[in-house]
């Protein structure tokens, strides 16, 4: 028998757990490819994110994580089921939603100041007011000396800081992040995780953060959703009852953190293995004459 005390499900927290901000209810999403093959990415997928809650989604590669985010943005529509944001069915792309992608999504031809000011200007703010607001946000992410730099003159970590400023300046009520830090080295990554938590704690946004990295998920989240190998359903939901504010580089050495990692990995490992077996079987089938 294990000597470890297993983490218990947490009761509703002061952040989140109340009214839902994002709901996917019994959603199925299929794709038809050019050769008329049907792929079911999500099946009977149900997930709720409370207002102000930080939710992480982990699951094997190709299982349907990005598809889930696309349904919330309105970029994709469900074949079956319902997707609601702030109680309303998703219809089109909402300005209340901020999205940070895995790849850089900065405008390469604009300097940092104009990249960060882009959102407010797009919404009709004057150039002067947008620049003033952008300067504040650039300072908040520690880049005040780099306002005139272009994206190619910045490091990967600095570009992510610009992306966070560019997103948070719009005061999003819903924030979706798709493996935003996966291309960064581990030190920069933990700094960015802390930066994100600090911005989030001031912003009152409801977050879905997709990652392959279970430790990243536990360090950041109020709740971790584990998805099954594709077609994705929610296999399990864990409440992460670790105190805030968190320093992500340190929290991973806490005994409770290690308990969570062990417990959730037991669930995730099975799905990663299944996904690997599916990929191997598909490759063998594809190579048969």
Which part of the chain contacts ligand ATP (CB under 6 A), choosing from 55-63, 141-149, 152-160, 182-190?
A: 55-63
Q: Which is nearer to ligand ATP, 215 or 259 (CB)?
A: 215
Nearer to ligand ATP, 17 or 231 (CB): 231
Give residue number: closest CB to Mg ion: 66
What's the full length of the chain, in residues? 289
Structure tokens at 226: 């584990």
Q: Does 57 bind ligand ATP (CB under 6 A)?
A: no
Please report whether residue 287 would count as binding ligand ATP according to CB under 6 A. Answer: no
207 in Cβ contact with 200 (< 8 Å): yes
65 binds ligand ATP (CB under 6 A): yes
164 binds, among ligand ATP, Mg ion, none (CB under 5 to 8 A by kind): none
Between helix 127-140 and helix 112-122 the angle, nearest 10°, is 130
Gap between the Cα atoms of 117 and 243, Å rounded: 34
In whole angstroms, give the CA distance from residue 97 to residue 94.
Answer: 6
Stretch that binds Mg ion, among 58-66, 117-125, 168-176, 235-243 (CB under 5 A): 58-66
Are the C-beta atoms of 232 and 63 separated by less than 8 Å? yes
Is 277 an interacting residue with respect to ligand ATP (CB under 6 A)? no
2 binds, among ligand ATP, Mg ion, none (CB under 5 to 8 A by kind): none
Binders of ligand ATP among residues 211 to 270 (CB under 6 A) are 230
Min dist. Cβ of residue 210 to ligand ATP (A): 7
- Spell out the residues 6+ positions from residue 27 whose beta carbon is closer than 8 angstroms to its own: 42, 44, 45, 46, 71, 78, 80, 81, 82, 83
Binding site for Mg ion (CB under 5 A): 66
């Amino acid at each position: 028998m294990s000597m470890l005390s297993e983490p218990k499900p947490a009761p509703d927290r002061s952040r989140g757990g109340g009214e839902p901000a994002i709901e996917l209810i019994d959603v199925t999403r299929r794709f038809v490819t050019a050769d008329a093959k049907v792929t079911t990415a999500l099946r009977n997928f149900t997930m709720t994110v409370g207002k102000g809650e930080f939710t992480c989604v982990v699951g094997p590669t190709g299982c349907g994580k990005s598809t889930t985010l696309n349904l919330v943005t309105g970029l994709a529509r469900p074949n079956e089921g319902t997707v609601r944001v702030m109680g309303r069915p998703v219809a089109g792309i909402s300005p209340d939603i901020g999205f940070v992608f895995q790849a850089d999504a900065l405008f390469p031809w604009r300097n940092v100041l104009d990249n960060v000011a882009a959102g407010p200007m797009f919404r009709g703010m004057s150039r002067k007011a947008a620049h003033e607001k952008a300067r504040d946000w650039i300072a908040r992410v520690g880049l005040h000396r780099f306002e005139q730099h272009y994206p190619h003159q910045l490091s990967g970590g600095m570009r992510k800081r610009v992306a966070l400023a560019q997103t948070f300046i719009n005061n999003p009520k819903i924030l979706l992040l798709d493996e935003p830090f996966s291309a960064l080295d581990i030190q920069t990554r933990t700094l960015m995780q802390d930066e994100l938590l600090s911005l989030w704690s001031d912003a009152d946004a409801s977050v879905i953060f997709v990652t392959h990295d279970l430790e990243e998920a536990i360090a950041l989240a109020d709740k971790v959703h584990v998805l099954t190998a594709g077609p994705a359903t929610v296999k399990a939901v864990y409440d992460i009852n670790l105190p805030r504010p968190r320093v992500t580089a340190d929290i991973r050495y806490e005994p409770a953190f290690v308990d969570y990692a062990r417990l959730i990995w037991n669930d995730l490992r099975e799905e990663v293995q299944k996904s690997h077996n599916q990929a191997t079987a598909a490759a063998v089938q594809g190579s048969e004459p």
